[in-house]
Amino acid sequence: MKKSITFIGCLILLAGCQTDVPQSVAESQVPPPSSVRNQVVQIVRDNGGKIGDFVRPEISSVVLLDPQTETYAFCVRAWHAERQRQPDVIGISMRDNKILGSTLHDYRCRDKRLRYYPYPELIAVRGSE
């Protein structure tokens, strides 16, 4: 029993040692270009506009994720209308201003150094369902 508790305690301590985003990545932030904002809106429209009942959508700054491949990333977050304690987040990667993929609940999107901006375009999509 003591070994199990010690092992779990060590795992928790190790998890706390990892930083979310390297400082150099956090310093490379730039506001998301309108082309990227519009791509996300278009993807939502192409998928039927069914994105749930949410409030206060936001989009993060774009950061350099991988300098070798020139891959960038940004996040979109929104609070569900009924449970507003923790936002739902999606991490999105891109290259040459084209979206490559996304990760639901991406832990990097919760980094406090990441800047977020209002994203009213998503409210407009939800309203057009």
Give me the pLDDT at residue 23, please: 65
pLDDT in tens, 110-124: 888 999 999 988 887
* pLDDT(107) > 80: yes
pLDDT in tens, 7-22: 444 444 444 444 455 6
Give me the pLDDT at residue 77, please: 92
Query: How far is residue 18's CA from residue 74's CA, in Å, rounded to a whole number?
Result: 20
pLDDT in tens, 75-87: 999 888 777 788 8
Give me the pLDDT at residue 81, please: 77
CA-to-CA dists, residue 122 to 22, 30, 37, angstroms? 29, 20, 9
Q: Where are the domains of the chain?
A: 21-127
One DSSP character per residue, 50-91 reads ---SEEEEEEEPBEEEETTTTEEEEEEEEEESS--SS-EEEE
Q: Which residue has the higher pLDDT, 95 or 12?
A: 95
What does residue 24 show for φ and ψ, rounded to 5 degrees?
Answer: -65, -35
